Amino acid sequence: MHSVAFRTRRSEDATTPLRSGLLNPNGGGQGLDSGSTQRPWITPLLLWLLTLCLWLPGLGNLPLRDWDEGRVATVARSTTTLLPMKWEQPYLNKPPGLHLPMGVLIRGNGETEVVVRLLPALLASLAVPLILILRRTLGGPDAEQRALLAAVVLMTLLPMARHGRLAMLDGTLVSCTLLLWWGWLGAKEQPWRALMAGLAASGVLLLKPPALLGFGLIAAVVGGRRSWPSGGSWMALAIGLLPGVSWHLWHWKIRGSDALLMWGGQGLARITNSVGDGLGWWTPWVELLEGGWPWLLLLPAGLTWAWRNRSNPIGRWELGLLISTAALVMPLRTQLPWYSHLLWPPLALLCGEGLQDLIKHHRHRWVSWSWQAMGILLLLAGWGGKTAGLAGWPDLSLLLAGGGLLAGGWFTGRSDRLWRRRGLLMLLLGWGLALMSLWSSGQWLWELNESWDPRPVASEIRSLPTGTSVWLEGPTRPSLGWYAGRELQRYHKGNAPPDDHWLVSPQQRPGCQLAAPAVPGDWQLWRCG
């Protein structure tokens, strides 16, 4: 496809008709090996299966996290039709694109954490093969290798895997976004790609509808006028958009002006106002510095590579995606750690370019030295924590990551290309095992309201008769309501409970007695009145 490949015709740029890019009139493909040209779906499929092996272990070893997991699970359990519900009341924050199928899965297989998180994790993991396909479509020299490296980077980023494992919308949103951009890249020549872009846009409309305004603008601007669909492709795009647009029109007909809340108060308002319990402007920067390792060191090299190729669609797309997604995320007045999820695919594309230069051309050797230094520090931290017997210290994860970085950094710094490739495999093996060890340690969630486990108190509440008045003092805990199987009333000034009630609180109130032997944690169930 001429709109997404280098303009200068060279032998390494030629591709077969199985890939978008410049076509060799003789049909000979030089950019990929013969297996890739004949079966281009095998590598993405194998990579997806590998991602599942890396992301899914330990999926249910921690309780649902607040706020989003508890709320998403509650809405999923309450939603049995196309109208999203929460505790038998209309839920106006989000469409049911993910909640409805999650609810079907929960009602059919139980309410365990694995069941609740499984579908979002599966959909989020599709981002890995999708970024490979996207980078492959952009073409250019070594397109298949660069695509594979970008996908491997995305797969092993800690926040990408960690937030992708949670019962939230953000991982699925990233997958829909990558599918949208890939479909748009080929929409002009291939109507079926325009259809895929439209279906991905419908997915966004059924997850976080205001986001489509930004993602669509990115595709139209970064791709340029030449990438816009034409003729029948516009019709295919419209057909793909039909499910999402139809649902919103129907929702507006059923619920009237209340249906606009997910566009305004829970959507675009986040740009100008702080909605709910959002964090500060620094949150995405902290997430990048906290979760971008070990690949973040390759970002300067990737930016340099993309800038040098800015006159070509590849460089324009990679720089454009980074700048535009940052423009969507960074100015938000409402910030939460997983909002930076959109930044990881563009960063993975750029880091993949830097990694290709390191492995193939032996450039940026300072990255190899830095990996060795990081490896030594992690090994010392892991050994020190294990020796000191620190409770909750992920010493095995640190030792595995440190060993992988030390060995990988050593061998990627060698002059022999074969040993550099082996070094990369060592790094990936150590880092992947470290992630799996982190999942099994039960230490992979550390944000927000995770100061106490709601399950013991929820078990006591479940034993109470149906219709018993149970109140909650303090921060809202959707996960407590989820595990308790009932909606809890909020206790605060101006909303006093009746004389005879049950109260979840960290401290005793006048006239209240502990309802049962103390459960682990600071919060207890009290009988009042």
* Predicted confidence (pLDDT) per residue in 407-433, tens digit: 999 999 999 999 999 999 999 999 999
What span, in angstroms and rounded, lies between the C-alpha atoms of 381 and 394? 10
Does residue 14 have a pLDDT over 70? no
- Report the amino acid identity of residue 412: T
Q: Are residues 250 and 388 in the same domain?
A: no
The last residue of a domain, from among 441, 470, 500: 441
Structure token pair of residue 211: 């986001």
Do 255 and 199 lie in one domain? The reply is yes
- Distance separating alpha carbons of residues 476 and 495, to the nearest angstrom: 15
* Tens digit of each residue's pLDDT (9 = 90 or more) over 441-498: 888 887 655 667 888 899 999 999 887 889 998 777 889 999 999 988 888 766 778 7
Question: Structural domain of residue 435, as residue ranges?
Answer: 369-441
What residues form DSSP beta bridges with 296?
none
pLDDT digits (tens, 9 = 90+) for 317-329: 999 999 998 888 8
Instruction: Assess contact for 116 and 98: CB atoms under 8 A.
Output: no
- Tell whether the model's pLDDT for residue 307 goes beyond 80: yes
Q: What is the total count of domains within the chain?
A: 3
239 shares a domain with 261: yes
User: Using 50, 70 and 90 to split pLDDT, how confident is the model at 168?
Assistant: very high
State mean pLDDT over 268-291. 68
Report if residue 29 sits inside a domain. no
- For residues 508-521, give the mean pLDDT: 77
Mean pLDDT of 133-142: 92
Residues 166 and 202 in one domain: yes
C-alpha to C-alpha distance for 409 and 43, rounded to whole angstroms: 26
Q: Which residue has the tokens 């209240």?
A: 512
Q: Model-level pTM? A: 0.87
For 335, phi and psi rounded to 5 degrees? -125, 130
Element (H, E) at 513: strand 512-514
Q: Which of 86-90, 331-335, 510-514 has the highest mean pLDDT?
A: 86-90
Burial class (CB in 10 A: 0-12, 13-18, 19+), 429: middle
Of 146-150, 235-239, 331-335, where does mean pLDDT reach its minimum?
A: 331-335
pLDDT of 17 over the 70 cut: no
Answer yes or no: do 93 and 176 share one domain: yes
- Residue 10 within any structural domain of the chain: no
Rounded Cα gap, residues 92 and 70, in angstroms: 16
Rounded to whole angstroms, the Cα distance separating 70 from 79 reads 14
Q: How many other CB atoms sit within 10 Å of the CB of residue 481? A: 23
Q: How far is it, in rounded angstroms, from Cα 288 to Cα 256? A: 40
Q: What is the mean pLDDT of the chain?
A: 85
Structure-token pair, residue 152: 């491997």
Q: 193, 198, 171: which is closest to 182 by C-alpha?
A: 193
Pairing assessment for the beta strands 489-491 and 470-473 based on DSSP bridges: parallel
**Cα 528 to the center of its chain, rounded Å:** 43
What local confidence, expressed as pLDDT, does residue 380 receive?
A: 95
Between these two residues, 14 and 273, which has the higher pLDDT value?
Answer: 273
Confidence (pLDDT) at 491: 80
Percent of the chain with pLDDT over 90: 56
- Look at residue 7 and tell me whether its pLDDT is greater than 50: no
266 lies in the same domain as 145: yes
**Domain-located, residue 45:** no
Beta partners for residue 252, in sequence order: none
Per-residue buried b or exposed e for 444-474, using 16+ beta carbons within 10 Å of the residue's own CB? bbeeebeebbbbbbbebbeebeeeeebbbbe
Answer with the one of 285, 316, 349 that is the final residue of a domain: 349
The two three-digit tokens of residue 127, written as one number: 């981002």
In this structure, which amino acid lies at residue 256? G
Please report which confidence band the pLDDT of residue 226 belongs to, taking 50, 70 and 90 as the band edges: confident
- In the block, tokens 């009237």 appear at 256
- Polymer length of the chain: 529
Rounded to 5 degrees, φ, ψ at 431 are: -70, -40
Does one domain contain both 410 and 515? no
* Residue 529 pLDDT grade (very low, low, confident, very high; cuts 50, 70, 90): confident
Q: CB under 8 Å to 158, separation ≥6 — which residues?
A: 291, 293, 435
Would residue 315 count as lying in a domain? yes
Question: Are 39 and 422 within 8 A, CB to CB?
Answer: no
| Residue 294: cis peptide before it, omega within 30 degrees of 0 | yes
Final residue belonging to a domain, choices 382, 414, 441: 441
Please give the single-letter amino acid code of residue 44: P
- Residue 205 burial by Cβ neighbours in a 10 Å radius (0-12, 13-18, 19+): buried
Helix or strand holding residue 528 (H, E): strand 524-528
At residue 19, the pLDDT reads 37
User: Is the previous residue joined to 285 through a cis bond, with omega within 30 degrees of 0?
Assistant: no
Report how far residue 382's alpha carbon sits from residue 387's, in angstroms, rounded to the nearest whole number.
Answer: 9
Distance (Å, rounded) from C-alpha 65 to C-alpha 477?
Answer: 9
Rounded to an integer, the average pLDDT of 366-392 is 91
pLDDT value of residue 27: 35
pLDDT at residue 272, as a whole number = 59
Distances (CA, A) of 267 to 180, 199, 211, 356: 20, 21, 8, 39
34-89 confidence digits (pLDDT tens)? 344 557 889 999 999 999 999 999 999 899 988 789 999 999 999 999 999 999 89
pLDDT value at position 337? 74
| Other CB atoms within 10 A of residue 142 CB | 15
The verdict on residue 51 lying in a domain is no
Average pLDDT over residues 104-132: 96
Q: Does 265 map to a domain?
A: yes
Residue pointed to by tokens 């194998």 = 46
The residue ranking higher by pLDDT, 60 or 17, is 60
H or E element at residue 471: strand 470-473
Give yes or no: residues 338 and 403 share one domain.
Answer: no
Beta-bridged to residue 524, according to DSSP, are: 505
Q: Is 488 left (phi over 0), alpha (psi -120 to 50) or beta?
A: beta
pLDDT at 82: 94
Same domain assignment for residues 97 and 189: yes
User: Does one domain contain both 390 and 263?
Assistant: no
Same domain, 181 and 240: yes
Instruction: Give mean pLDDT, residues 190-204.
Output: 95
Cα–Cα distance between 285 and 340 in angstroms, integer? 9
Do residue 468 and residue 397 come from a single domain?
A: no
Average pLDDT rounded to a whole number, residues 254-261: 90
Assigned domain for 62 exists: no
Q: How confident is the model at residue 275 (pLDDT cuts 50, 70, 90)?
A: low
Q: Give 276's pLDDT tier (boundaries 50, 70, 90).
A: low
pLDDT of res. 1: 41
Does residue 7 lie within any of the structural domains?
no
